[in-house]
Each structure stands twice: as structure tokens, then as C-alpha cells.
């Protein structure tokens, strides 16, 4: 088993009503639960606020977010375990972010042998 990070990008559209938020959250909980039940969750992760700051370069300049286009803003992460990247990709297809035109970036954790 190897570990992969899911980075959820974009998929945040307009001002959803409380009921819509509720529905979306329910989908997340269902999806994450199904991954957990199959033993793929290493760390469920956290959602991220859309605001933030960017600290850049040697000069360490600090600017306010957004620091990417809306469709690229990372909205959260999850750490999963899967046989290989193909399985990780397959598992990610159930992610609710995809339904609102978001994306899941699937990144293998680097194994460092020192």
C-alpha cells in the first residue's frame, strides 16, 4: 500500500443556500465514510477557508490571497492509502467536488530513503 494526497481544487460556486450546503456536506460525509469503510483513509484531512495569505520568495513578501484562479484554489485535502496511483485515481472519482466542476489532484507521497 502507498499513500496519496488528494488536493481538492475549485468546485466552489456562488452562494449556496443552507440546504445546499447541507446536501453537499452530506455527500462529502458519505464519500469519506465509504473510503474509510474500505480502509483507504489515512487522514480524513480538513476543508480550507478560501481566504489566506501568501508568503513568497527570499524577500518573504506577504500578500493576501486569492493567489490562484478560483478554479485552482485548494479547498481541502485528504490523505489516503491505495495499492497504486490507478486505484487512488479510481477512488477519487466519487468525490463531490467533481460534481460542481471542481478537480481532485492526486499526488503520491514521496518515499524518502536516506
Q: Is residue 53 involved in binding other proteins (CB under 8 A)?
A: no
Residue 99 burial (CB count, 10 A): 11
* Positive or negative: CA dihedral 43, 49, 50, 56: negative
- Among residues 7, 42, 44, 87, the one that binds other proteins under rule CB under 8 A: 44
Size of the site for other proteins (CB under 8 A): 16
Task: Pick from 10, 11, 32, 97 the residue near other proteins by CB under 8 A.
Answer: 32
CA distance 54 to 62: 6
CB atoms within 10 A of CB 89: 13
Cα–Cα distance for residue pair 41/27, rounded to 1 Å: 16
Q: Which of 78, 82, 97, 102 binds other proteins (CB under 8 A)?
A: 78
Backbone region of residue 14 per phi and psi (left: phi > 0; alpha: psi in -120 to 50; beta: other values): left
By C-beta, is 25 or 84 nearer to other proteins?
25
Given the rule CB under 8 A, which of 39-47, 54-62, 85-93, 103-111 is the region that contacts other proteins? 39-47
Residues at the contact surface with other proteins, assessed by CB under 8 A: 22, 25-26, 28-29, 32-33, 36, 41, 43-47, 76, 78
Amino acid at each position: 500500500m502507498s499513500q496519496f494526497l488528494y488536493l481538492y481544487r475549485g468546485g466552489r460556486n456562488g452562494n449556496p443556500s443552507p440546504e445546499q450546503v447541507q446536501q453537499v456536506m452530506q455527500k462529502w460525509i458519505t464519500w469519506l465514510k465509504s473510503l474509510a469503510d474500505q480502509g483507504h483513509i489515512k487522514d480524513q484531512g480538513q476543508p480550507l477557508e478560501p481566504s489566506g495569505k501568501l508568503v513568497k520568495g527570499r524577500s518573504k513578501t506577504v500578500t493576501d490571497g486569492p493567489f490562484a484562479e478560483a478554479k485552482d484554489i485548494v479547498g481541502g485535502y485528504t490523505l489516503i492509502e491505495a495499492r497504486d496511483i490507478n486505484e487512488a485515481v479510481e477512488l477519487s472519482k466519487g468525490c463531490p467536488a467533481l460534481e460542481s466542476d471542481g478537480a481532485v489532484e492526486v499526488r503520491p507521497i514521496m518515499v524518502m530513503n536516506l
